[in-house]
Amino acid sequence: DGVWRNTRYNTSYAANFLIGKEFRIGKPENGNKLSVNTKFFVNGGNRYLPVDLEKSRIKRSTVYNTSEAFSNSMVKVYQMNLTISYSVNRPKVRHEIYLDVYNVFNNQAPVEQYYDKYKDEIGTYTQLKMIPNIMYKIHF
> Mean pLDDT, to the nearest integer, of 63-85?
93
Model pLDDT, residue 63: 96
Give the tens place of pLDDT for each residue, 32-64: 999 999 999 999 988 999 999 999 999 999 999
Contact 23/33 with Cβ under 8 angstroms?
yes
Task: Give the Cα separation of 3 and 1 in Å (integer).
Answer: 6
End-to-end CA separation in angstroms for the chain: 60
What pTM did the predictor assign?
0.77
**Which DSSP category does 130 fall into?**
-
| Domain regions of the chain by residue span | 14-139
CA angle 119/113/5 to nearest 5° reads 150
